[in-house]
Amino acid sequence: MQDSIQGPLLRSGHNSAFKALGETGFPVYRMATQLRETIRRLDTGQELARHLAIPQNHQGGDKTDWYSSFAGDVIPWNSATESERAAAYSQLESFKLAVLALSEQLLTTDNKDRGGDKRVFASLLKQVVNFPDQDFVYLVDGVLVITFWGFVHDNDEQRDPMHWLKPVSPSLTTPGVAASAPVAELAPACEIVPTTGAVPAIPMYAQPVTPTIQSASWWSRWRWRWLFWPLLLLALLALLLFGLRSCAPSFSLPGVSSMGLPILRDSAVAVPSSGQALPAAHGPADVAATIPSRASEPHTTVESAALASGDPLTPPPAPLASGEEPVSASPPQASMPSATADLEPPTLPPASPPSTDVAHPVPQGKELTIPPTIANGPAQFLDGDWKVNGGIQDTQTGKPLQLQYSFKEGKGQVSLRQSNGVVCRGAASGVMKDGQLSINNLRQARCADGSSYMIPQIECKPGTDNGTDCVGRNEGEQQFPIKMRQQNP
C-alpha cells in the first residue's frame, strides 16, 4: 500500500528548470513512485521513506508539487537552528547509507538479472539521494524531507548530497592578524679573503657584533616606571590582608574538640644556645621542649610530661619574656600521637538528593473542532489565537509561510511571516454557513517592507472521528490540506 498525501505542500516547480538524473533513458522522476515504494518495504523503510517528499504532477505537465507524507510544522533549511541542522545532517547520512546498501543488495541478489531491468532499477535507486541544493530541504516536525530528489541544477556538477548540508567549519586563520615577517638572514661574523703570499698564522676569531641601539622615545624610556604603581598597590593590599587575618576572630567546627592552645601565665624561660632541656613552665600542663642548635633541623620536638597521667596534650605557644631577643627558627610542629586519636570527625549535613525533574516538551494546542449544532453567522467559537500548520506557501518562490490568526466574536487579525522574516498583517473574519467554516481576508495584508500580500482563504468542515478537515486555497490555484491548532495561553 502506497503512502497517501497527509502532509503539507512543501514546494512547487517545473521539472524543466533542472537536470533530471537517470539511467539509460529512464529518469528518476518517471519511476519516483516505484522507487519510494521499494524503500518503504524495508524493515525500517517506513522511517526512511519519510525523507522523500511525494511528487504530484499536474496532469502530465511540466509542473510538479511536492508534499510531505505526514503532517507537522514546516521549517525551511535557512530558518533552522544549528542543532536542527546537525540532526538533519545525521538523518541524511543514515538515509544515504541505507539506500546505497539496498542498491548493492539488489545488484548482488541474483546475478542472472544484473544485466536487465533489475540493474537499471538499482542504479536509479542510487540517484534518489541527490537534490539541487539546501533550499530544497525542509524539516517537518524535525524530520528531514527532500523535494525535487533525482534532480540537480542544469549548469551544476553532480555533487555528494552531504555537501549541501555540511556545516561550515570556522577558518583557522584569525582575521586581522598579519603573517609573521620572514626572519632576516644574519651576515657572517667575518669574511675570509684568500691570499697568495705567505701570511703568518693568525687565529681566526669571530668579531663581536655590536647591536645598533636606536634612540628610544621618552615613552619607551619611562613606560617601565609605570609598573612601580601596580607593584605598590599589590604590596599595600598584601599588608591589608595580613592585618585583617591577624585580627580575624577564632572559630571552631561543630563536633571537633577544641584545638586552642592555652597561654602561659608566667613568663617564658630563656632559650639556651645549645640543645639543653628547658625548665618546666608553670601552666595547665608541664611541657618540656628541646630546641636543636642547628638551623638545618626543620622541626622542634615537643613532648608532654602529662602523657603518663592520661591528660591530653595541649602545648603552649611559649611566648618570649620581656627584654629577650626572638630566636629565628622554623615554626615548631608538635607530634601528638595520642591527642589525634581523641579527635572526632565533624558532622556534615546530609547531601541533598539530585533533582529528578525532567524537562517535558510543551504540549501542542488542540486542533480546531466545529461544534455539531451551530447557527449561520459569525464563528464566535474561534475566539483565541490559532496557528496554521503546513501547506501555506509563497506562489512566487514556493517557500513555506507561517500563518497565525487571532479572533474575538468572529472577527480578528491575521499575521503572515514570510521566509525572509518580513511580517504581513491584515483583517480577517470567520463565518459559519451550512455547517462549514470560512475564514476570509477582508483585504490584502500590509507588509513591514511596504508591500502587500493576498492571504489564502481557508475552508473547514466536520471530518471523521470528531475531527475537522481544512483546506487552503490561493487565488486561481488548487487547494491544499492544512491543520489549525489553538495556541496554548
pLDDT tens digits, residue range 352-405? 444 344 334 445 678 888 888 888 889 888 889 998 876 577 766 667 778 899
**Is residue 133's pLDDT more than 90?**
yes
Domain boundaries 377-486, corresponding CATH code: 2.40.128
> Whole-prediction pTM value?
0.42
404: β partners: 387, 415
**Is residue 433's pLDDT more than 70?**
yes
**Is residue 428's pLDDT more than 60?**
yes
Can you tell me whether residue 151 is helix, strand or coil?
strand
pLDDT tens digit sequence for 67-108: 999 999 999 999 999 999 999 999 999 999 999 998 888 888
Question: So what's the pLDDT on residue 388?
Answer: 86
List for the chain the helix, strand, coil content (%; round to 5).
20, 25, 55
Determine the Cα–Cα distance for residues 316 and 427; give it in Å rounded to an integer: 90
pLDDT tens digit sequence for 443-482: 788 899 988 888 888 889 888 777 788 888 876 666 778 8
**Is residue 286's pLDDT more than 80?**
no
Question: So what's the pLDDT on residue 302?
Answer: 37
Please tell me what DSSP assigns to residue 277: B
36 within 8 A of 54, measured Cβ to Cβ? yes
More confident residue, 434 or 116: 434
Determine the Cα–Cα distance for residues 324 and 268; give it in Å rounded to an integer: 10
Question: So what's the pLDDT on residue 180?
Answer: 39
Q: Return mean pLDDT, the chain.
A: 70
Q: Which range has the top average pLDDT, 133-137, 220-224, 463-467?
A: 133-137
Could you give the residue range(s) of every CATH 2.40.128 domain in the chain? 377-486
Question: So what's the pLDDT on residue 389?
Answer: 78
Average pLDDT estimate for 129-146: 94
C-alpha distances out from residue 362 to 280, 359, 365, 383, 390, Å: 79, 9, 9, 22, 19
